[in-house]
Structure 1
Amino acid sequence: MRCVVLGAGAIGGVLGARLAQAGHDVHVVDRRAHVDAIRAHGLRVRSPDGEDVVRLAATTDFAEPDWAGVDAVVLCVKSQDTAAALAELARHADPQTPILCAQNGVANEDAALRLFANVYGVLVACPSAYLEPGLVRAYSSPVTGVLDVGRYPHGRDTFAVQVSRVLSGAGYASEARADITAYKYGKLVTNLGNAVEALCGPSARGGNLDRLAMDEARTVLFSAGIHAEFAPVSALVQVRPVFGERRPGGSSWQSLYRRTGGIETDYLNGEIVRLGRLHGVPTPVNAALQYAANRLVASGGEPGSVSELDLLRAVVDGRGAAR
């Protein structure tokens, strides 16, 4: 398969490397520092099994890949960067090109469908990290992660089955699912704790705020008539240290650590807030997390620098709920 990976960070970098190692033709598009490092030294992929150096075609220029021969585009940018990436992609790729949205959140597929006819959702459960140019870390072994795929908004077609087989051959657990959207809503619920981890540190993950945000989301989804399925990823993903180090934090934590100037909270907790407003369901927990995360990004604060107790007080006081 010939594919272009847009965004070669934690998810896209590891995926591009694994596909290339499995014999597929991969071209990655990313920012200058990362691309320069990949071109100079290859993409270094560290895992519990050691380090691989994978040579990949890498560019910052959307015009550089040979789009005429591309079988699929894998969209791995953060949700807040999707609109800009799709707008640039539409200038070069044929509108029939299959787009695989290997991203958190549920808004990316709909955005892609405005510009491309063949859109596929990908449920992503791949513990990985991108903290410095030219190096990505994959923390699960022997399976690199879970990447289930299905046509958007629903359907299990021939291409989804083909992609699932390709991903399975590249070291992932993958199923072609007829209702990928339901599974992505399930993943959205579990991703609400990303903001808690980014704000209060990894030790707060799974705590009171996390549970309250998820309970609130389930109420909202029920009121909206949205069905969420939860894929059994824990039996497949085996998280282990990489070079003696545990994974420092998830995708939102990494955005704060790298000072990217953005965070995906508006498309995770903010999606629950949006649905709550549409259906008349209060969402004080997710609204407070969304507000606090955006404030921390604006101030350039460090991940884990916010008190969990202060956030709980903000929920009780209703701060952020009107945002």
Structure 2
Amino acid sequence: MKVAVMGAGAVGCYYGAMLARAGHEVVLIGRPSHVEAIRANGLRLETKAFDEQVRLGASTEAGAVQGADLVLFCVKSTDTESAAAQIRPHLSPAALVLTLQNGVDNDERVRSVLPSSEVAAAVVYVATEMAGPGHVKHHGRGELVIAPSRSSEQVAQHLMAAGVPTQISGNVRGSLWAKLVLNCAYNALSAVSQLPYGELVKGVGVADVIRDVVAECLAVAKAEGVAIPGDTDAAVRGIAQSMPSQYSSTAQDLARGKPSEIDHLNGFVVRRGEALGVPTPANRVLFVMVKLLETKQR
């Protein structure tokens, strides 16, 4: 299988490297410094089980998706439409575009730009970070839940053979909302405090804030008619336990002076709450605090 990773950050690099290790032809599409390091030395994949240089392709050009059977679409949610437009002229008609992004509506947004392409959403449960150009560090987990599509079964088999636990679910929308709840509970707080999850939850009043944020998210989801699977409270508690040293992606963005995806996390809940008549004061405060920090950096 030929695989292209559009937006080779920590998530895309991890899954791309796992597929490359399993023998698939993989090209990562990312920033020049990252691409140069990979071309020179391969991608360093550092996990708790192994630490190795993985040989794969790298490019700065969207045209590198040409001929790919699978496109792992991993750009920031703020760049969804523009990135989809960039790959559109080069995309194989038979390719599956799998969205591995934060937020709940990226697949719909990609589909609006690529109406003739097969697009499926994926829910990502992995703790990773870019430790430097050409160096991705894996802290834990790695499961994917993907939506049914013409190619999903075959892709899932390849992913599982590559060491990526993968499930196909008819309720990916609900799973995306479940992930959104986790992101809303932790991302902004980790960003504002610049603390990893394990330290964050020890803070005075943090548990109460997380409880309020989660309750608002669940109220909005209910108003949307979304059925969230599993035990949400247990999942929220489990994040700090399973990934105690992980900083949220929002925290990593702010630490590097980059715009975050907060508009598509707590900001999304606020906007949907307004549209549906559901109050979201805790989410609004976290959203505003992160936006203020972004403004200060600019």
Answer yes or no: is the 8 Å Cα contact 2:120–2:149 preserved in 1. no
Residue 189, structure 1, aligned to residue 177, structure 2? no
Answer yes or no: is the 8 Å Cα contact 1:2–1:24 preserved in 2. yes
Aligned partners of 2:144, 2:224: CA distance in 1, in Å?
26
Aligned partners of 2:89, 2:78: CA distance in 1, in Å?
20
CA drift at 1:300: 2.1
Give the root-mean-square deviation of aligned CA atoms.
2.4
2:111 corresponding residue in structure 1: 113
> CA 1:112/1:230 → structure 2, altered by over 3 Å: closer, same or farther?
farther
2:265 corresponding residue in structure 1: 268
User: Counterpart of 2:261 in structure 1: which amino acid?
Assistant: E
2:192 corresponding residue in structure 1: 199
Instruction: Report percent identity of matched pairs.
Output: 33
Aligned with residue 83 of structure 1, among 67, 81, 84: 81
CA drift at 1:231: 8.3
Aligned partners of 1:254, 1:227: CA distance in 2, in Å?
30
How many pairs were matched up? Answer: 285
| Worse-superposed segment, 47-56 or 13-22 | 47-56
| Worse-superposed segment, 158-167 or 279-288 | 158-167
Aligned partners of 1:204, 1:285: CA distance in 2, in Å?
17
Question: Which 5+ residue runs of structure 2 have no aligned equivalent?
Answer: none
Aligned partners of 1:291, 1:98: CA distance in 2, in Å?
36
Aligned partners of 1:36, 1:137: CA distance in 2, in Å?
18
1:251 corresponding residue in structure 2: 249
Question: Which 5+ residue runs of structure 1 have no aligned equivalent?
Answer: 151-155, 241-245, 302-323
Answer yes or no: is the 8 Å Cα contact 1:95–1:115 preserved in 2. no
User: Counterpart of 1:271 in structure 2: which amino acid?
Assistant: F
Answer yes or no: is the 8 Å Cα contact 1:129–1:247 preserved in 2. no
> CA 1:231/1:148 → structure 2, altered by over 3 Å: closer, same or farther?
farther
Residue 285, structure 1, aligned to residue 278, structure 2? no
Aligned partners of 2:257, 2:40: CA distance in 1, in Å?
24
Q: Name the TM-score, length of structure 2 as normaliser.
A: 0.88
> CA 1:80/1:268 → structure 2, altered by over 3 Å: closer, same or farther?
same
Aligned partners of 2:37, 2:245: CA distance in 1, in Å?
22
1:312 corresponding residue in structure 2: none
Answer yes or no: is the 8 Å Cα contact 1:102–1:124 preserved in 2. yes
Residue 2, structure 1, aligned to residue 2, structure 2? yes
> CA 1:247/1:9 → structure 2, altered by over 3 Å: closer, same or farther?
farther
Q: Name the TM-score, length of structure 1 as normaliser.
A: 0.82
Aligned partners of 2:254, 2:60: CA distance in 1, in Å?
23
Aligned with residue 145 of structure 1, among 138, 142, 146: 142
Aligned with residue 72 of structure 1, among 56, 70, 73: 70
Considering fraction of residues, name the structure with more helix: 2
